[in-house]
Chain A
Amino acid sequence: DIQMTQSPSTLSASIGDRVTITCRASQSISNWLAWYQQKPGKAPNLLIYKASNLESGVPSRFSGSGSGTEFTLTISSLQPDDFATYYCQQFNDYSRTFGQGTKVEIK
């Protein structure tokens, strides 16, 4: 199975900060990567698909980049609604594995 490793596990930031989360795959997954946001007690919400495509309705401050084994999710200017846990997911192979998550906290 392909392993997905996110860094950092926790991130403390302030409103207006530029935030970057990294996701690394144990082998190349081309651009078969998605990013999700999850708030406590809620289902995940799709932000980015195929590494860099913004899902309809998602604010433009979110962006994704990368291909192969290294990917990033960037929030250009952190807003109060963005404090949450973020997961990457590969859908290149059968296992469709998720990263372990990155919790974005208020500094």
Chain B
Amino acid sequence: QVQLVQSGAEVKKPGASVKVSCKASGYTFSSFYINWVRQAPGQGLEWMGIINPSGGSTWYAQKLQGRVTMTRETSTSTVYMELSSLTFEDTAVYYCARAAQLYDAFDTWGQGTRVTVSS
């Protein structure tokens, strides 16, 4: 079945970087875009950006430009999201989510990765 499996929880200090992985299975990896969405504790959903696994093109939310980098590894059907210069406000659950088109609903989600920024 279609599945996105994310890496485990992380605890980071302010100023550090975090890299979260999202491994796809059950479908043709290059045929679907992967979005990243985060959710701070008790808050709503925030779109972070999107990567096209076929070619690697990326589009990032304006708020995160310069701090977020999304990459992919086609040999393992894995997408990565790296966020740098972490602050306490980056504490959140980070989700990857699949979409069939560049502008499209997110039909499959990963289980989420909790990132805690703490001194």
Contacts and interface: CB of A to CB of B under 8 A. Distances in A.
Interface of A: 1, 32, 34, 36, 43-46, 49-50, 55, 87, 89, 91-92, 94-101
Nearest to B112: A43
Contacts of A34: 105-106
Contacts of A87: 44-45
Closest A-B pairs by Cβ, 3 of them: A34-B105, A43-B109, A49-B105
Interface residues of B, number: 20
Given A50-B105, A91-B103, A43 B44 contact: no
Query: Of A45, A55, A94, which is in contact with the most chain B CB atoms at under 10 Å from its CB?
Result: A94
Contacts of B109: 43-45
Interface in B18-75: 35, 37, 44-47, 59, 61-62
Given A43-B95, A43-B112, A98 B45 contact: yes
A91 B105 contact: yes
Given A94-B59, A95-B61, A46 B44 contact: no
Interface in B94-119: 95, 97, 103-107, 109-112
Contacts of B103: 32, 91-92, 96
B112 to A, nearest CB: 6
A38 B56 CA distance: 29
Contacts of B37: 44
Contact of A44 (B45, B59, B62): B45
B92 to A, nearest CB: 13
16 contacts: A1-B62, A43-B111, A43-B112, A44-B109, A45-B109, A46-B106, A49-B104, A55-B105, A87-B44, A89-B45, A89-B105, A91-B104, A91-B105, A95-B61, A96-B35, A98-B46
